[in-house]
């Protein structure tokens, strides 16, 4: 099921917005790869650059956002950033599909859902409406919509939030995409529905070998279904690795902070949750060294002056930190020290 | 379901008709000047005036006059013009046919003009075409229609001689002459409508285009035209339908001025003449028909709204 071939390779992605006060860099030199059939989670706070990264892949960022020339996003070796809008439209919905955070607003309220699914099929395939409708029916069954035939004629307001998110998934699957970008797909749903939607996503990976880029701030979701995880802070990737490894041994103080701020169901009851002190810095006034330095309890003078190098461990994980955390009993084992950033 | 909705809407119309006609009826009789005096001339004797007033029922109270009129109106009898003796319902229907053609052309200009400017504005935001349409959007609202009418006549009729300055030919008589004659009055009448619909639809469309479901459409691979025309416009039209409904009543009222400027024998001109001649029976008929038209349009607006938006329950 899982192969090691790369599907998507994001290299040195630098997205910036020129302003009169200087450049804002929502994504600053981000590189990662997604393999075929893998679920990659992208985690971070609001404003960390998750959404800009994913919309860069879709080519749907606001026109104010520009890219530095060294940036590239390779899908099967083809650089999406170099494509013309017309060529990119053939990829959107066809090779890469996306589902969004709030299913209450993501579907067109005045069109029947059947019509909306059919639209994404006939945009990319030269088939008749009737045939496309059959495919739409299959898709609805696939994502577990009961009484699918009747549902085709329904309008979004006649369905619940969970149902609508299933419709969104069905719509995204319309052309068998290789990559599905799911931008906080469960945030707006209640917990039981969340689990159902996550199950559907997991099944897609198993059955169709679809790669999924899962954007979330919910570490529970990450632990549940992702294979690997990227942690973003201030437009940079601060930690990357397999979910197992990162959860067992978070090395970046920020990752650790995120995990500590999740309440635990077991163990003694605590009065106050851990928080990460301070706020995300103003993107126009980023600190000179490490971006996290203003909020990090392990910060040293070096952190204040020099941007950290990206350190790779033998486990395959990597971290951008001068003082990576070490769990007791686990030795610091540098495999390679690449010097990105 | 739909039938019940229709029935409920029709029942709702009845009290509205009663109240509006009563108000208008009272106001018409309060217009200074005595119709009897106008009819008989300066040299009439007081006896003759009193006699005529009795004949016309003017010596009774407004309320009883109103109910007399109402009962007759329900029987389909709107009376005769006190001035020409013509049957009011005949005159009104004949004039309405003319005004209807004018208002429909003006509405078409408003709706299609408004949609054209709003859509191109949205497709090319902050381009010269956007600025031009916004400029005309403001200008069209600010410009008095009679003044625009006079400018149009000056330029297109008197200077260029392309179209006649006054007069009207019915579409059933000669479509080409109809078109030539109706162009200037319909533009003068429709300018405000075009401006209003442009402004309203543009802002509505701009808002809709940043909605989540439009982003979803883009993520499916639609281009901007498809996004605007397939996903944007129907949603953006919802609030604008109300504007269009109100606009119809507005244009109907504005025919009073425009028909006078262009000497078009429509209901607006009839209204003006009836006021000047103190022809109160005719005026009552005119106002009644205008009220009925406006109520009818509101009714149609509600139905269109329900058709455009599946979320509306009947």
Q: Quote the pLDDT of residue A75.
A: 95
Q: Best of B126, B221, B222, B237 to disrupt the A interface by mutation (most A CBs within 10 Å)? A: B221
> What is the reported pTM?
0.83
| CA pair distance A239, A264, nearest whole angstrom | 22
Q: Show which of A178, A204, A233 is a domain's final residue.
A: A233
pLDDT, mean of residues A79-88: 94
> Could you give the percent of chain B with pLDDT greater than 90?
45
Tens-digit pLDDT profile for residues A281-306: 888 888 888 999 888 888 888 888 98
Q: Given an 8 Å threshold on Cβ–Cβ distance, is A120 in contact with B215?
A: no
Contact present, B212 and A102 (Cβ < 8 Å): yes
Q: Return the top range by mean pLDDT from B13-27, B66-80, B199-213.
A: B199-213
Q: Given an 8 Å threshold on Cβ–Cβ distance, is B220 in contact with A109?
A: no
Residue A36 sits in the same domain as residue A48: yes
Residue A196 sits in the same domain as residue A280: no
Q: pLDDT-based confidence at A11, cuts 50/70/90?
A: very high
Q: How many residues does chain B have?
A: 314
Q: Which residue has the higher pLDDT, B298 or B186?
A: B186
From chain A residues 105-124, the ones with a CB under 8 A of any chain B CB are: 105-111, 119-120, 123-124
Contact present, B231 and B222 (Cβ < 8 Å): yes
The alpha carbon of residue B230 is apart from the nearest alpha carbon of chain A, in Å, by: 9
Tens-digit pLDDT profile for residues A146-200: 999 999 999 999 999 999 999 999 999 999 999 999 999 988 888 888 889 999 9
- Provide the sign of the torsion angle of the four alpha carbons B256, B257, B258, B263, taken in this order: positive
Q: Does A93 contact B at CB distance below 8 Å?
A: yes
Q: Given an 8 Å threshold on Cβ–Cβ distance, is A94 in contact with B215?
A: no
Q: Which residue has the higher pLDDT, B310 or B102?
A: B102
Instruction: Classify residue A34: in a domain, yes or no.
Output: yes
pLDDT, mean of residues B32-53: 79
Q: Quote the pLDDT of residue B186.
A: 95
Q: Quote the pLDDT of residue B147.
A: 93
Residue A191 sits in the same domain as residue A241: no
Q: Quote the pLDDT of residue A327.
A: 64
Instruction: Classify residue A341: in a domain, yes or no.
Output: no
Q: Show which of A184, A210, A233 is a domain's final residue.
A: A233
Contact present, B106 and B189 (Cβ < 8 Å): yes
From A81-90, A155-164, B76-85, the region with the lowest mean pLDDT = B76-85
Q: Quote the pLDDT of residue A338.
A: 45
Q: Best of B220, B222, B304 to disrupt the A interface by mutation (most A CBs within 10 Å)? A: B220
**Measured between CB atoms, which of A92, A157, A171 is closest to B311?**
A157
Mean pLDDT score across all residues of chain B: 88
Residue A142 sits in the same domain as residue A250: no
Instruction: Classify residue A16: in a domain, yes or no.
Output: yes
Instruction: Classify residue A133: in a domain, yes or no.
Output: yes
Q: Does B4 contact A at CB distance below 8 Å?
A: no
Residue A207 sits in the same domain as residue A261: no
Residue A282 sits in the same domain as residue A316: yes
Instruction: Please tell me which residue of chain A has the smallest CA distance to B230.
Output: A111
Give the structural domain span for A39: 6-233
Instruction: Classify residue A278: in a domain, yes or no.
Output: yes
Q: Show which of A209, A233, A257 is a domain's final residue.
A: A233
Q: Quote the pLDDT of residue A4.
A: 62
Decide if pLDDT at B42 tops 70: yes
The alpha carbon of residue A107 is apart from the nearest alpha carbon of chain B, in Å, by: 5
Q: pLDDT-based confidence at A218, cuts 50/70/90?
A: confident
In three-state secondary structure terms, B53 is helix
**Measured between CB atoms, which of A90, A91, A100 is closest to B215?**
A100
Residue A74 sits in the same domain as residue A220: yes
Q: Quote the pLDDT of residue B204.
A: 95
Counting one residue from A and one from B, how many pairs have CB atoms under 8 Å apart? 69
Residue A265 sits in the same domain as residue A302: yes
Q: Given an 8 Å threshold on Cβ–Cβ distance, is A171 in contact with B220?
A: yes
Q: pLDDT-based confidence at B67, cuts 50/70/90?
A: confident
Residue A167 sits in the same domain as residue A35: yes
Domain count, chain A: 2
Residue A124 sits in the same domain as residue A223: yes
Contact present, A14 and A53 (Cβ < 8 Å): no
Instruction: Classify residue A1: in a domain, yes or no.
Output: no
- What percent of the residues of chain A are helix, what percent strand, and what percent coil, each to the nearest 5? 35, 25, 45
Mean pLDDT score across all residues of chain A: 88
Q: Best of B212, B217, B219 to disrupt the A interface by mutation (most A CBs within 10 Å)? A: B219
> What angle do the packed helices B128-142 and B175-209 form, to 10 degrees?
120
Residue A14 sits in the same domain as residue A94: yes
Q: Quote the pLDDT of residue B265.
A: 94
Q: Does B212 contact A at CB distance below 8 Å?
A: yes
Residue A49 sits in the same domain as residue A167: yes
Domains of chain B: 2-74 (no CATH), 89-308 (1.10.3720.10)
Q: Does B310 contact A at CB distance below 8 Å?
A: yes
Give me the half-sphere count of Cα atoms (radius 13 Å) on the Cβ side of residue A150: 4
Q: Which residue has the higher pLDDT, A78 or A283?
A: A78
């Amino acid at each position: 099921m899982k192969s090691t071939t790369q599907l998507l390779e994001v290299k040195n992605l630098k997205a910036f917005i020129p302003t009169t006060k200087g450049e804002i860099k929502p994504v600053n030199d981000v590189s990662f790869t997604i393999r075929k059939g893998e679920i990659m989670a992208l985690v971070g706070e609001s404003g960390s650059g998750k959404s800009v990264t994913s919309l860069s892949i879709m080519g749907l960022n606001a026109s104010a956002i520009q890219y530095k020339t060294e940036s590239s996003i390779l899908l099967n070796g083809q650089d999406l950033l170099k494509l013309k809008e017309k060529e990119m439209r053939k990829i959107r919905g066809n090779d890469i599909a996306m589902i969004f955070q709030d299913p209450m607003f993501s579907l067109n309220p005045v069109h029947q859902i059947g019509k909306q699914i059919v639209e994404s099929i006939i945009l990319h395939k030269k088939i008749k409406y009737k045939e496309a409708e059959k495919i739409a029916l299959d898709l609805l069954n696939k994502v577990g919509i009961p009484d699918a035939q009747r549902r085709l004629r329904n309008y979004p307001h006649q369905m619940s939030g969970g149902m609508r998110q299933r419709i969104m998934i069905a719509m995204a699957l319309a052309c068998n995409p290789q990559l599905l970008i799911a931008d906080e797909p469960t945030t707006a749903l209640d917990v039981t529905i969340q689990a159902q939607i996550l199950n559907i996503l997991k099944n897609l990976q198993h059955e169709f070998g679809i790669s999924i880029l899962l954007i979330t701030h919910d570490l529970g979701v990450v632990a549940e279904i992702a294979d690997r995880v990227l942690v973003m802070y201030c437009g940079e990737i601060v930690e990357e690795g397999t979910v197992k490894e990162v959860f067992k041994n978070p090395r970046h103080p920020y990752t650790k902070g995120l995990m500590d701020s999740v309440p635990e169901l077991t163990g003694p009851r605590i009065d106050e949750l851990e928080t990460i002190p301070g706020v995300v810095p103003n993107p126009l006034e980023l600190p000179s060294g490490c971006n996290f330095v203003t909020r990090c309890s392990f910060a040293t003078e070096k952190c204040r002056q020099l941007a950290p190098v990206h350190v790779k461990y033998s486990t395959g994980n990597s971290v951008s930190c001068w003082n990576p955390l070490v769990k007791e009993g686990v030795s610091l084992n540098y495999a390679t020290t690449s010097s990105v950033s | 379901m739909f039938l019940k909705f229709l029935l409920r809407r029709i029942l709702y119309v009845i009290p509205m008709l009663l109240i509006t006609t009563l108000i208008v009826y009272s106001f018409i009789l309060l217009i200074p000047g005595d119709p009897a005096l106008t009819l008989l001339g300066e040299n009439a004797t007081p006896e003759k005036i009193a006699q005529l007033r009795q004949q016309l029922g003017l010596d009774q109270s407004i309320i009883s006059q109103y109910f007399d009129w109402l009962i007759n109106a329900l029987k389909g009898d709107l009376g005769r013009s006190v001035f020409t003796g013509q049957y009011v319902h005949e005159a009104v229907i004949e004039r309405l046919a003319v005004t209807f053609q004018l208002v429909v052309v003006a509405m078409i200009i408003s709706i299609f003009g408004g949609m054209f400017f709003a859509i191109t504005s949205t497709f090319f935001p902050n381009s010269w075409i956007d600025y031009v349409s916004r400029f005309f959007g403001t200008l069209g609202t600010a410009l008095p229609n009679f003044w625009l009418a006079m400018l149009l006549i000056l330029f297109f009729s008197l200077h260029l001689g392309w179209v006649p300055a006054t007069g009207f030919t019915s579409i059933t008589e000669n479509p080409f002459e109809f078109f030539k004659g109706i162009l200037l009055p319909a533009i003068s009448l429709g300018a405000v409508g075009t401006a209003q619909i442009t402004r309203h639809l543009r802002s509505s469309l701009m808002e809709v285009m940043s909605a989540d479901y439009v982003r979803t459409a883009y993520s499916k691979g639609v281009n901007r035209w498809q996004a605007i025309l397939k996903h944007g416009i129907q949603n953006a039209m919802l609030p604008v339908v109300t504007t269009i409904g109100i606009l119809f009543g507005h244009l109907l009222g504005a025919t009073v001025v425009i028909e006078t400027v262009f000497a078009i024998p429509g209901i607006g001109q009839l209204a003006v003449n009836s006021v000047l001649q103190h022809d109160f029976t005719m005026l009552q008929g005119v106002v009644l028909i205008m009220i009925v038209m406006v109520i009818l349009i509101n009714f149609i607006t509600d139905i269109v709204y329900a058709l455009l938006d599946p979320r509306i329950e009947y």
